[in-house]
Structure 1
Amino acid sequence: MVAVDTVARGRTARSAGSRSLGRRLQRPGAWFALPAAVLFAVFFAYPLVISLWQSFFSTQGGELRWVGLDQYVRLFRDPLVATSLGNAFLILLVQVPLMIGIALGLAYVLNQTWLRFRSGFRLLYFLPAVTTLVAYSVVFRVLLTTDGGAVNQLLGLFGVAPVDWLDSELWARVALIASITWRWTGYNMVILLAGLQSIPAEQYEAARMDGAGRWTTFARVVVPQLRPAIVFTTVTSTIGALQLFDENVILTGGGPNNATLTPVLYLYKVGFQQFDPGYASAIAWLLVLITGVISIIQFRLLREKK
């Protein structure tokens, strides 16, 4: 009995010692995480709470006045909110499938073993993703200038009349979609390429042994395996389209006739040009709601895959 009690006490002491050692080891980790937690609280959590609180107030005569849900009711009566959301959804319905399709095609080609200089091509297609939003938007604005722009000069070589890229409702949307596609296609290509490289070679061999051609292999083997990556890139690109700001500010300023006005740009104009922070906060929380709905759809799609 004495021996048993001694062993039990030894185990208890070792257990207590390991727990205390674990606590001591966790303390440095907590201190290392503290700066990130403080930054998160100051620059994300606090502004988030304040913006929600501010959306229930209206600024009148330089003073805040409680208005309850009036700002949210105003959202449904404001035609510019509907216009900005309509523009955002039009852009994402055209641009997102176009971009994901191009990215998927590039990733599939760059994953082929017969292609030479694959690393160079991957770098070339990914370079636009590392350029700053402002820099590439300025470059596109210069290229698409109606008088003297490089694009119109190139079209002139083929006898095409100059296109009013930035002052026509149709062509301004085309220019915006083209610039976003150029910027983000390489980024999505890298994600899809990583998914392609995770597909076992045995599955391609099995498809060839069954007599499947390239298109059948792509449709029946590649696409189903890439479903999580395709869902991720599609949802993140959709959210990006809803949050579009830099490109349309620099390229078109939201015009002409609000043809490229997006919710974030309208939020900026309301908050910083019209000095109505309460209504701007309500617009921001409308975007949060839409983004949340899209995120829920993403989680459901991934859960169905599992």
Structure 2
Amino acid sequence: MKQLTNKNSIGWLFVLISVVAITLFYFYPMFDALLLSFQSGMGANLEYVGFDNWSRLLNDPTLKQALINTMTYLMIQVPLMIVLALFFSVILNDPNLKFRGFFRTAIFLPAVTSLVAYSVIFKYMFSVDGIVNQLLINLNLISEPIAFISDPVWAKVVIILAITWRWTGYNMIFYLSALQNIDRSIYEAARIDGANSFQQFIQITIPMLKPIILFTTITSTIGTLQLFDEVVNITSGGPGIQTISISQYIYDLSFKYTPNFGYAATVSYVIVILVVILSIIQFKVAGEKE
């Protein structure tokens, strides 16, 4: 009995360490940022201004544009990436496919590249004298270079392509892991019943991967709402503020414009609110009760 009590005490000690760490480095900063959102000023020269920062949100044109841009990235990039990740995972799960290990590694490698490095590479690839324009001209698809980076629409396309390139392989790994846990006898039974590959994908693979699809959709949504590196390094939010993200706007409020940490904290809570709302919607759509 004494030995059992000692084991329980050790277990609670490990749990306590985790709880303290999470509280100190996760919940406390969130609570402190919430208090900061009711203050204004820079550095230690802060004063309480009530709900002034929150009312300012409603009349901030830059925040409005940042919201539009971020939601545009979210609505296009996340579904595209999820579909591509599913497509690649199903293909690369085929035991008869040769060089599966090579293809899996090649598709996953972008996920471990430096955010800054690959963003800068994309910037130069899509510049006026970059390789993409040179290729399109050589193929006679265009007669003159396209200003991808300085055009509001094309700049968003480049950012979406960059994010998709980097994170598709990351999500693919989750689907591959889940697919390898599905009993192949289920697919064999479906083939015997006359189901083709597409029907097996719709009726077996998708339902089996539903929890993983929900997980990757939520994490990808959170990641896109926090989009920063690609926007800063590819377009710097330009032209003007046509590609600026919410996270970049928070950075600008804190360090680029006249520093206002209070309002920056308020804008950061816009991301928190969006994450909560979109996560709830995704859980409801997926039919998950737990």
**TM-score w.r.t. length of structure 2:** 0.91
Structure 1 counterpart of 2:226, which letter?
Q
The match for 2:153 among 141, 150, 170 is 170
The match for 2:174 among 191, 194, 202 is 191
Structure 2 counterpart of 1:295, which letter?
S
Give the conservation status (yes or no) of the 8 Å contact 2:42–2:261: no
C-alpha change, 1:61 and 1:104, in structure 2 (3 Å) is: closer
C-alpha change, 1:80 and 1:211, in structure 2 (3 Å) is: same
* Matching residue of 1:140: 122
C-alpha change, 1:305 and 1:68, in structure 2 (3 Å) is: closer
Partners of 1:206 and 1:41 in 2: how far apart? 50
Partners of 2:221 and 2:74 in 1: how far apart? 6
Q: Secondary structure at the match of 1:239?
A: helix
* Shift >6 Å, 4+ stretches: none
* Matching residue of 1:270: 253
Deviation at 1:64, TM superposition (A): 2.2
C-alpha change, 1:60 and 1:243, in structure 2 (3 Å) is: closer
Deviation at 1:47, TM superposition (A): 2.6
RMSD of aligned C-alpha atoms?
2.3
* Matching residue of 1:101: 83
* Matching residue of 1:221: 204
In structure 2, stretches of 5+ residues that fail to align are none
Give the number of aligned pairs: 287
Residue 21 of structure 1 pairs with residue 3 of structure 2: no
Residue 211 of structure 1 pairs with residue 194 of structure 2: yes
Structure 2 counterpart of 1:250, which letter?
N
Partners of 1:122 and 1:62 in 2: how far apart? 50
* Matching residue of 2:265: 281
Report which structure shows greater RCO (CA 8 Å, sep ≥6).
Answer: 2
Deviation at 1:300, TM superposition (A): 4.4
* Matching residue of 2:243: 260
* Matching residue of 1:111: 93
In structure 1, stretches of 5+ residues that fail to align are 1-14
Structure 1 counterpart of 2:276, which letter?
G
* Matching residue of 2:225: 242
C-alpha change, 1:77 and 1:299, in structure 2 (3 Å) is: same
**TM-score w.r.t. length of structure 1:** 0.86
Larger Rg: 1
* Matching residue of 1:77: 59
Post-superposition CA distance 1:163-218 (Å, at most 9, x none): 11100011101100000010001001111111211221111011111111111111
Percent identity, aligned pairs only, is 42
